Amino acid sequence: MNITINNELLQYIDPLTANEYAALERSLLAEGCRDALVLWGEVLVDGHNRYEICRKHDIAFQTVQHTSFQSIDDVMLWMIDNQLGRRSVTDFQRGVLALRKRDILAARVRAEMDAAIEAKQGAGQSQETSASSGSETSIPSAAIKSREDIARAAGISSNTIGQIEKIRKTAAPELVEAVRVGAISINAAAAVASLSNQEQVMAVAGGKKELRQAAKMVREQKAASRPPRAESAAPAAKDTMTTSATGTAGSDDAHALRIQIAALNARIASLTAENQALQAELTGLRGIPA
C-alpha cells in the first residue's frame, strides 16, 4: 500500500505535545490501531501520528477512503470539523481552527464570484455591465461568518474569538507557542500581543511570571490612558447638570489621582536609587583608612 504524506496537511493541525504523543504510543502498543487511517486517494488525511507510530513498531492498521473530497480545501475543512469535534482540543486551538475555516470559506466564495464574472464577460457582456454586476454582487454576508457564528462553531465566547484573532495577527511566534502550550492565558496573551515583537519575545523568555507582569503592565497603561466616561443625562435639566458636573468632576479627580500616583511611584523609584547610591558611597568612605 502506497501512502503519501502531504506536508501542507501534516502542518495544518497543531502537533501533539511530547506527553500526548507518548500516551498515544503506549495505547497503540497495548491495544493496536483500532481506528482506520483516512485517505484521499494515496494522500493521508487523518492519522499522521498513528501512521508514524505503527510504522515504527510494525503495528497493523486499516485504511478507509474518503471519496467526497474535490479539492485540498475540502480536505482541510473536513480536518477542521474533525478536530473541533474532539474534546481534547483547547479553546485557543478551537478558535484558530474556526478562523481558518472562515478564511477558507471566504476565499472559496470570492473565487466562485470571480469565475462567474469572467464567465459573463466571456459570454459577450460589455465591460460596463460586468463591472456593474460585480459591484452589485458582493460576497453574501452568510458566507463570511460573523464573530458570533465563529464563536458558536468553536464552542467559545465571541470575546475570546476576538482575542485569538488579535493574537493571530500581532503576536510573535514565541508568544503564539506560549499560549498554545498553556504557559499564558488567551486573555493575557492578547494584552502582551500589543507590545513590540522584541518585548513579546523577552516576556516569553522570562517565563510565566514575566508574561503575567507584561500583561498587567499593558492593562494598567490602557486604564491610565482611557478618557473619563461621561455620565448619562437624567430626565430633569437641573438633575442632568448636577449629575454631569459631579460625574465629570469625579472622573477627572480619579484620572488626576492616577497621574499623581504614577508620578509618586516614579519619585519613589528615583529616591530609592539615590539612596542606594549614597549608601554605596558611604560604604566606600568607611573603607578608606584615616
Q: How far, in whole angstroms, is CA 14 from its chain's centroid?
A: 13
| Residue 121 pLDDT | 80
Burial of 108 (0-12, 13-18, 19+ CB in 10 A): middle
pLDDT single digits (tens) 233-274: 445 445 545 555 555 555 566 666 666 676 666 667 666 666
Length of the chain: 290
Evaluate if residue 73 carries a pLDDT over 80: yes
DSSP state of 67: T
User: In the structure, what pLDDT confidence band is assigned to residue 31 with cuts at 50, 70 and 90?
Assistant: very high
For Cα atoms 118, 78, 29, give the angle at the middle one, nearest 5 degrees: 150
Alpha-carbon distances of 227 from 191, 230, 251, 255, 256, rounded to whole Å: 19, 9, 9, 8, 11
Summarize the confidence of residues 130-145 as an average pLDDT: 44
Average pLDDT over residues 66-90: 90
Residue 224 C-alpha from the chain's centroid? 25
Angle of the 207-225 helix axis to the 197-205 helix axis, nearest 10: 140
- Closest to 170 (Cα-Cα) out of 150, 147, 197: 197
Which pLDDT score, from 0 to 100, does residue 124 have?
65
φ/ψ of 123, rounded to 5, equals -80, 0
Q: Which residues is 64 bridged to in the sheet? A: 38
Buried b / exposed e along 165-185 (16+ C-beta atoms within 10 A): bbbeebbbeebbebbbeeebb
Task: Compute the Cα dihedral for 20, 26, 29, 30 and give only its sign.
Answer: negative
Look-up: residue for cell 516569553?
Answer: 204
The pLDDT tens digits for 45-56 are 999 999 999 999
Q: Residue 100 carries which side chain, given as an amino acid letter?
A: R
> pLDDT at position 119, please?
82
| Domain segments of the chain as ranges | 1-71
